[in-house]
A and B are shown apart, each in its own frame.
Chain A
Amino acid sequence: MNEENQVFFIDSDALSPEALERKHKLEQDPNFRTNHMEYMQGMEVIESDIKDLVLAAAEGYDYSNYTSADVMRALSNDTCSIEDFKALLSPAAAPFLEQMARKAEEITKNHFGNTVYIFTPLYIANYCQNYCVYCGFNCYNNIRRKKLSFEEIEHEMQVISKTGMEEILMLTGESRTYSDVKYIGEAVKIARKYFRNIGVEIYPVNVDEYKYLHECGVDYVTVFQETYNPDKYETLHLLGHKRVWPYRFDAQERALMGGMRGAGFSALLGLDDFRKDALATALHVHYINRRYPHAELSLSCPRLRPIVNNDKINPNDVGEKELCQILCAYRIFLPFVGITVSSRESAEFRNGITKICATKVSAGVSTGIGDHEEKYEGGCAEEADAGDEQFEINDSRSFENMYHDMEQGGLQPVLNDYIYV
């Protein structure tokens, strides 16, 4: 039944026979799993037609229908329609990659000049109650778990802020039990002392909880939909609240309703048909912009990476050329959105793509828990005390090196372009 996902399934000796049996049942028997389209208790339902619009467009997208004539028309148009965008995402656009890059570069320059934003993520906990088969934090993966105390959070933030970084993205594993909203809110209040701009990438929450986090100092909320294909999603997110596809889909909208200034979107490329997922991601942004024109929106473009205990995970058919095509198409279709390229990509790719269309890169990245002092300053943290990483990063450049490399590339690094009002 689930052979295509076999690469993800890793058993651990640490699991009890009962846990192992349950894990196997979840993997093999769809009937053992809950209905992924049904909201769980406590999940807020909002009125929104965006899901239906995005789903219909992705389902109806047959990219093999597009020709080079469609691509050329898209490239010559002043504004990019949804049809143009579909052409740019199609295989027919592959031979036009250089032209797409030129157009994307011009649009990026007009909207962002030659600036590039630098930020860093900070994971404060890696406990997770979900079984998402490709993720290092999944509840069946045998990793060192950790949740930072407030003192530890403050210490990590001091170490990061000493480098000069001003924007932070705070992340947790998805566990309401271990990392409840109050815990995250208190951590944000600490971050306010050290950083100008605070975003979160946490489990989706209700409008009133986003409102609370906003009052604590958060202004940006990023939620990755992973894949916009609910049928595929169901086979990858086997257990936990994350399994509920529609609640996750509406997260950005709830965040904006809760008063957040902006929201980030993404599919995890390589999980499903990447062209359909890229189309759905951009349309999600497009429709949110139409309903919330004031919101500052951004796109990310993560590809699958190896995780602790499973080095076989890879981005499948999404090579660097495909990724570049997607990002150029995003830029041409959505000239005004921020595009973030994470440390999952190589230094060479990030140096190149920031000259074309990416506007934001992370630096000094750790996806582990509580190891910044060790990674930034060397030595003193007890290795055994840190929590394991979510995935293996590729570009491990420090903040200082990234700043330097971006300047060398003719770009102006910007650490903050934001004011909390």
Chain B
Amino acid sequence: MEDKFILGGKEFNSRFILGSGKYNINLIKAAVEQGGAEIITLALRRANTQDSENILDYIPKGVTLLPNTSGARNAEEAVRIARLSRAMGCGDFVKVEIMRDAKYLFPDNQETIKATEILAKEGFVVLPYMNPDLNVARDLQNAGAAAVMPLAAPIGSNKGLATKAMIQVLIDEIDLPIIVDAGIGKPSQACEAMEMGAAAIMANTAIATAGNVPEMAEAFKLAIQAGRKAYLTGMGRVLARGGSASDPLTGFLR
């Protein structure tokens, strides 16, 4: 069975979105290849550099760039960075990241909705990074987002699915792909999010800080595939501790 991941009208075979920050740029190619990633994020503030170490030169051809607006503190700045990204030839995809919190780097949901609306009208494929909240996700959908990217835990924390219940609500209620972003620390956590029905996983720190970056990228690939397959197959029944009670409560019924 074909299982394509469709985002912004493009088809992808991989459901693994790889981050490009926090590790040596000369490892990017190997990580992309071994992880089978077809989308890679890119902080425009890192790309906005002179020739010596331009990260754009390290990204393999054929991979879709997902520039992000990190550094933006409000909608207006995010819109400016997105336009700059498009002007630099980074394509129409943009991950909206708006933070006014330097400690946890939590996204600002209100400003994110505003920026999403403006950019979607300008023809961008907008992927907003957000704090999982159902009402905000609906607003983002109405604003023209191509997917919603809820955080699993504070970025860089590797704490896993701390917001699991909220993400499940988004998966159940929102008609857009839900891409779990930030906080995923291990392949098993990526697998769990995919089993829940997430459309894709975005990971950076977990891979960047691993002993071997390309090997860990591959581990994530496999975990994401496993989780996806389990979700598509339909999970088996998982019994609560001790199994079912032997005396049925409804046994008295004739």
Contact = CB atoms under 8 A, between A and B. Distances in A.
A339 to B, nearest CB: 14
Interface string B193-209: 00000000000110011
B212 to A, nearest CB: 12
Interface residues on B, range: 35 or more
Interface in B88-111: 99-105
B50 interface: yes
A234 to B, nearest CB: 33
A4 interface: no
Contacts of B114: none
Contacts of A110: 156-158, 205, 209
Contacts of A164: 50, 52
B102 A419 contact: no
Interface stretch (B18-26, B119-127, B166-174, B246-254): B18-26
Interface string A337-359: 00000000000000000000000
Given A115-B22, A412-B24, A417 B43 contact: yes
B220 to A, nearest CB: 16
- Interface majority SS on B: helix, strand, loop or mixed? loop
- Interface majority SS on A: helix, strand, loop or mixed? loop
Contacts, number: 81
B199 to A, nearest CB: 26
A414 B46 contact: yes
Contact of A293 (B81, B100, B158, B204): B100
Interface string A6-21: 0000000000000000
Contacts of A421: 71-72, 77, 80-81
Interface residues of A, number: 27
Contacts of A293: 100-103
A336 interface: yes
B48 interface: yes
Nearest to B48: A419
A104 to B, nearest CB: 14
Given A415-B49, A415-B53, 15 more contacts: A109-B205, A109-B208, A110-B156, A110-B158, A113-B209, A114-B208, A164-B52, A196-B49, A289-B102, A289-B103, A294-B99, A336-B104, A336-B105, A414-B53, A416-B49
Interface of A: 109-115, 164, 166, 196, 289, 293-297, 336, 407, 412-419, 421
